[in-house]
Amino acid sequence: MSCNKTQHLLKEYFSDDLLPVAKSKIEEHLFSCAECSAELESLLLAQSSLTQWREQRVPHWDRGLEQFRREQRAADSKLGFWSKLQWFPLAASVVMLTALMLNTQLIYDDEGFMLSFGATDVESKLQGFIDSQRQNLDSVIQRIEDKQDINNIELLEVVLKQTQQATAENLDSIYVLFEQQRLRDLEDMKVGYQQLIDSDYETIRSLQRLAQFVSYRGQVR
């Protein structure tokens, strides 16, 4: 081989990063130099003989499926055990939260045990509230009675002054009339307050039911 450029130029010719200008320069020499041209031709022939490769089919094999299934089953059974356990803390939390919300109580006695939902002291508190309301009502009624007594006396004095008939008989009859009227007023007022208390009581009962969901007491034996 007399051309000393052949090896260098052919090595570059097969490069994939050759600039178009450099490639055309190399080609210019390769096509003008007989030795380089012949060498290039035989190299391209050798390369093309490799590209005659025909994709060959893969022989039969199990593709690792048996092992895949075996290991997957093992993994599933391991996961299954842990997947059951992983719900335990959540379930325990739900049970505890429910017991807390419903104020669940377990009471033992001689007859067995009693499981109750809802606070037992709520009713006693409610009863206390009703009693205090009644006391308030009684004191209000008492104050109204006292006030009405004073008003009646003042009114009676005004009437007597105007009629100038300060006889004992008139005075008694007028006083009876006022007293009857006062008693009727008081009765009406009591009825009104009682209705008000009943209404409050029902409202509280409804709220209690709503808040506790369950307002019954069950006994389990």
Partner 1 sequence: MMKLTDEDEALIAAALNGSALAWEKLVRRHEGRIFNQGLRLMGNRSDAMDLVQEVFLGVYRNLHRFRGDSKFSSWLFRIAYNKAIDINRYNNIMASRTHRSDEKELDILESIPGRSNLEGEKILSEYQANKKVISMLADLPLNQRLIVELKIFQSFTFDEIADIHEISVNTAKTRFYSALKKLKNVSESEHVL
Cα gap 183→145, rounded to integer Å: 9
Contact between 199 and partner 1 by CB under 8 A: the answer reads no
| Contact region with partner 1 (CB under 8 A), list: 6-14, 20-28, 115-123, 145-153 | 6-14
- Contact residue for partner 1 among 2, 21, 32, 57 (CB under 8 A): 57
> Containing H/E element for 1?
none
Report the residue from 2, 4, 21, 54 that binds partner 1 according to the rule CB under 8 A.
Answer: 54
Token pair for 41:
């031709």
x-or-dash string of contact with partner 1, 118-137, rule CB under 8 A:
--------------------
Q: Does 10 bind partner 1 (CB under 8 A)?
A: yes
Binding flag, residue 3, partner 1 (CB under 8 A):
no
Rg of the chain over CA atoms, in angstroms? 54
- CA separation for the pair 3, 157 (Å, rounded): 151
Number of residues that bind partner 1 (CB under 8 A): 35
Binding flag, residue 17, partner 1 (CB under 8 A): yes
Residue 15 touching partner 1 (CB under 8 A): yes
Identified binder of partner 1 from the candidate list 42, 77, 162, 164, rule CB under 8 A = 42
Q: How far, in Å, CA of 177 to CA of 119, rounded?
A: 52
Reading the block at residue 199, the tokens are: 């209404």
Instruction: Name which of residues 58 to 97 contact partner 1 (CB under 8 A).
Output: 58-61, 63-65, 67-69, 72, 75-76
Three-state SS string over 3-71 comes to CCCHHHHHHHHCCCCCCHHHHHHHHHHHHHCHHHHHHHHHHHHHHHHHCCCCCCCCCCCCCCHHHHHHH
Candidate segments 38-46, 94-102, 118-126, 211-219, binder of partner 1 by CB under 8 A: 38-46
Q: How far is CA 50 from the centre of its chain?
A: 68
* CA distance linking residue 39 with residue 4, whole number of Å: 13
Question: With respect to partner 1, which residue has the nearer C-beta, 15 or 219?
Answer: 15
Choice between 53 and 88, CB closer to partner 1 = 53
**Which of 220, 206, 205, 208 is CA-nearest to residue 105?**
220
Q: How far is the CB of 38 from partner 1 (least distance, A)?
A: 11
Q: For partner 1, which residue of 2, 4, 32, 51 counts as binding (CB under 8 A)? A: 51
Residues that bind partner 1 in the complex, under the rule CB under 8 A: 7, 10-12, 14-17, 42-43, 45-47, 49-61, 63-65, 67-69, 72, 75-76
